[in-house]
Amino acid sequence: MEAIVNGKTIQLSEAGWLDNLEEWSEELAHEISKNEKINGLTDEHWDIINEARTYFTDNGTVCEPRAFTKLMKAKYGKDRSSQKYIYSLFPTGLIKCANKIAGLPRPKGCS
């Protein structure tokens, strides 16, 4: 699988995960989101994407969903932190959808 961004071909795994994490860009995030059946990334989507990327940068690993909910609650409040809220924006959730769009590595055991 591949995505074309600004005339450049970027390799993705068969499941749509970014092969080279250094190739991530906001433009690529928009392309991956189309594969995930998300029609446009809103500021709310970007808040989650950016928090996931920041956590990865700071910790060297993707954040597990329960811990991510706590991070979101501390920063954005109760209404924007539940799993239900995250699934309303990312149909297959934090791990399979938001992290993929954020250009993060596929966690072990995740299809």
Note whether residue 106 is domain-resident: no
Note whether residue 61 is domain-resident: yes
Note whether residue 12 is domain-resident: yes
What domain range includes position 7?
2-101
pLDDT for res 109? 63
Note whether residue 109 is domain-resident: no
Note whether residue 108 is domain-resident: no
pLDDT for res 111? 54
Note whether residue 93 is domain-resident: yes
pLDDT for res 49? 96
- Establish whether 97 is a catalytic residue: no
One digit per residue, the tens of pLDDT, for the chain of length 111 reads: 899 999 999 999 999 999 999 999 999 999 999 999 998 999 999 999 999 999 999 999 999 889 999 999 999 999 999 989 999 999 988 788 999 999 999 877 665
pLDDT for res 95? 81
Task: Catalytic residue, from 42, 72, 110, 111: name it.
Answer: 110
Q: What's the structural domain count of the chain?
A: 1
| Alpha carbons within 13 A on the beta-carbon side of 39 | 0
Cβ atoms of residues 83 and 69 within 8 Å: yes
CATH code for the domain of 68: 1.10.10.370
pLDDT for res 92? 86
